Amino acid sequence: MSPRPAGRPPRVDVETAVLALRGPVAPAEVRALAERLAGRLHADAVVEVGGTVDVGVVDVLARLALVARRRGVRLRVRADEGLAGLLALVGLRAVVQPLGEPEAGEQRGVEEVVDVLDPPA
């Protein structure tokens, strides 16, 4: 990939969708909320989690992870360390990857980016 000339905008991955999830999520709302968010999951996605993180939020993330896996897209989560710990506790840390965590075989601190103005090789 060629270096970015001065004045050129930063690299952006245009294939990544950003979904917002605010907790708490009541048990009765989990299915409908997961289905609504899954309807927007057609490419790699980042889920931004805010508000109170509870079991309902984890349930929604688990359902989204299943949809992402079936569709062959990557699901990543942007949230605080409390959620990362909760995902690890319920066995979802490997399924839903928190942002900033290296993927299997990747080094910490190395991020993949796509320069949309750089033609493919």
Q: What is the pTM of this model?
A: 0.67
**pLDDT over 70 (residue 47):** yes
Distances (CA, A) of 121 to 1, 2, 46, 118: 9, 11, 27, 9
Peptide bond into 24 cis (omega under 30): yes
pLDDT in tens, 60-93: 999 998 999 899 988 888 887 788 888 888 888 7
